[in-house]
């Protein structure tokens, strides 16, 4: 991980010079944004700082085991301290309705690993080659000389494994493995138990709704592009919630012929959350950027406000263009 000394020192100064902090996680929170924010919360508390962790959506049940998860609050319950640090947020729309806490802050910082991050904060620590924001947070602990205890290790481990597909994605680095090996060697984490909580503790409603979506996957472009959709009505018919939809995009991507996958889920307000993945070829970050979204080459997303048919047509056309671009480049 190539961490700029200048950038990490600027974040350390940002922390050292402040006393009260609001930490922001992104909407539809995953294991990395929550694990990294909760690890940072623990670090700040160890330094004697006043800190609150905020997210526009409640913590999913799957991540409720993390120390401090029960103290993550909604924006309307936040005090909104003078210093705000966003964690794993590629851009400001990812704050959701917590954006007012960021815009009203006296000082702002961002800690992130998304290559599309435009450095929107006053102080930015963006490390695009980090496997997860949790990897950056681990480096911050080391640079600040704060010991990583079992609680912090649990949060960091969760961020690392969830953003690397349980250490199976191409963004898994040697440093990722070294960090986890160190946690195991020091008996800071119980890998078997944490993996059971994260990956082997699936609600019945999630299994049912995933089965419905997977059975309706559509293939195009000789099977190289696949997409699946889910409306609010369909979700409710299975008694499922938004958090039950996490991981469905991986089922679409994992089809053997698929190179670009999309999962389009309707939100309560009628907009559509579009999740994109690529496998082997294709830059889905490029596609997401066309719609004001962001992410990585192999994992990205955005929010669409057009009718579902328009959203699907747009994704299909752009995925085919991306595949054609990559395949033409290979031939040349």
Spell out the per-residue pLDDT of the chain, length 332, in tens: 776 678 999 999 999 999 999 999 999 899 999 999 999 999 999 999 999 999 999 999 999 999 999 999 999 999 999 999 999 999 999 999 999 999 999 999 999 999 889 999 999 999 999 999 999 999 999 999 999 999 999 999 999 999 999 999 889 999 999 999 999 999 999 999 999 999 999 999 999 999 999 999 999 999 999 999 999 999 999 999 998 998 899 999 999 999 999 999 999 999 999 999 999 889 999 999 999 988 889 999 999 999 999 999 999 999 999 999 887 766 55
Please name the fold of domain 204-331: Diaminopimelate Epimerase; Chain A, domain 1 (3.10.310)
So what's the pLDDT on residue 5? 79
- Hey, CA dihedral for 164, 165, 170, 176, is it positive or negative? positive
Distance CA 256, CA 99 (A): 40
Distance CA 202, CA 198 (A): 9
Question: What kind of architecture, by CATH, is found in domain 5-199?
Answer: Alpha-Beta Complex (3.90)
Domain boundaries defined on the chain: 5-199, 204-331
pTM: 0.86
> What are the tokens at 165?
């597909």
So what's the pLDDT on residue 328? 72
């Amino acid at each position: 991980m190539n961490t700029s000394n200048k950038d990490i020192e600027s974040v350390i100064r940002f922390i050292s010079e402040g006393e009260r902090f609001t930490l922001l996680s992104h909407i539809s929170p995953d294991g990395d944004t929550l694990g990294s924010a909760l690890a940072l919360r623990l670090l700040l508390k160890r330094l004697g700082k006043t800190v609150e962790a905020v997210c526009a959506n409640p913590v999913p049940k799957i991540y409720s085991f993390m120390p401090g998860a029960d103290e993550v609050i909604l924006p309307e319950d936040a005090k909104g301290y003078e210093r705000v640090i966003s964690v794993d947020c590629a851009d400001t729309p990812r704050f959701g309705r917590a954006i007012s806490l960021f815009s009203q802050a006296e000082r702002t910082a961002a800690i992130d690993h998304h290559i599309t991050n435009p450095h929107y904060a006053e102080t930015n620590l963006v490390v695009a080659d980090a496997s997860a924001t949790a990897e950056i947070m681990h480096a911050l602990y080391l640079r600040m000389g704060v010991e990583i205890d079992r609680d912090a290790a649990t949060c960091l481990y969760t961020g690392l494994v969830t953003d690397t597909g349980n250490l199976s994605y191409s963004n898994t680095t040697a440093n990722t493995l070294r960090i986890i090996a160190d946690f195991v060697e020091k008996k800071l984490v119980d890998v078997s138990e944490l993996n059971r909580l994260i990956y082997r503790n699936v609600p019945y409603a999630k299994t049912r709704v995933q089965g419905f979506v997977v059975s309706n996957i559509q293939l195009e472009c000789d099977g190289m592009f696949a997409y699946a959709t889910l409306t609010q009505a369909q979700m409710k018919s299975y008694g499922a919630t938004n958090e039950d939809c996490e991981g469905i995009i991986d089922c679409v991507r994992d089809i053997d012929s698929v190179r670009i996958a999309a999962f389009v889920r309707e939100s309560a307000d009628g907009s559509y959350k579009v999740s994109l993945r690529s496998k082997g070829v294709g830059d889905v970050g490029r596609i997401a950027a066309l719609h004001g979204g962001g992410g990585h080459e192999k994992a990205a997303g955005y929010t669409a406000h057009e009718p579902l048919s328009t959203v699907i047509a747009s994704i299909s056309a752009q995925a085919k263009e991306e595949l054609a671009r990559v395949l033409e480049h290979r031939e040349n």
